[in-house]
Amino acid sequence: MLTISFANPQDAARLADVQKRTFDDDARLYQNKEEDGPPGYDSADWQTEQMNNAHYYKLTAEDNIIGGMIIFPSPAAGECHLGRIFIDPLHQNQGYGQESFRFLFQTYPAARKWTLDTPSWALRNHYFYEKLGFVRTGKVTDEVDGEFIIEYERVR
């Protein structure tokens, strides 16, 4: 059973560890790299900083943190941006991703528009987001490494 609750600073090291495993697994699958992830993905300090800047949720199964989500709500605009979602590779393909999005849509009912972005090479992510009703809205080039980032939105 999945439990979703706000993360706290005591969770930061575990969230960084899970996030590193998740993004490094994708790097091995899709990029032939041992390690690669977004800024701060392997830093406990970065995780704590995000808890102060956004709504940071931890995903827990069997009393273990198996993932997390970082949400940037803009209530006045009726929008939310999913800054990041990650689920430990050992717990993927078990419905936790879909359950996490159901939680988000129920928790933020005033959000008429959701946005997110993901690397162009992350094919599994594209399939998952499109299955949830997100549509591609654009493509930008990452200023740090030049890779293409695909932008998505879901309007309800």
CATH fold for domain 2-113: Aminopeptidase (3.40.630)
Residue type, 25: D
pLDDT interval class at 156 (50, 70, 90): confident
State residue 128's pLDDT score. 95
What are the structural domain ranges in the chain? 2-113
pLDDT (tens digit per residue) in 19-63: 999 988 888 877 777 777 788 889 999 999 999 999 999 999 999
DSSP bridge pairs for 83: none
AA letter at 115 = T
**Distance, CA of 4 to CA of 34 (rounded, Å):** 30
Pull the structure tokens for residue 40.
């701060």
d(C-alpha 117, C-alpha 83), whole Å: 8
- Tell me the mean pLDDT in the region 86-97: 95
Residue 146 scores a pLDDT above 70: no
Q: pLDDT tens digits for 105-114?
A: 999 999 999 9
pTM for this entry: 0.92
Distance CA 97, CA 108 (A): 17
What does the chain come to in residues?
156
Q: Is the backbone of residue 144 left (phi > 0), alpha (psi -120 to 50) or beta?
A: alpha
Q: Please tell me the distance from the alpha carbon of residue 138 to that of residue 59, in angstroms, as a whole number.
A: 29
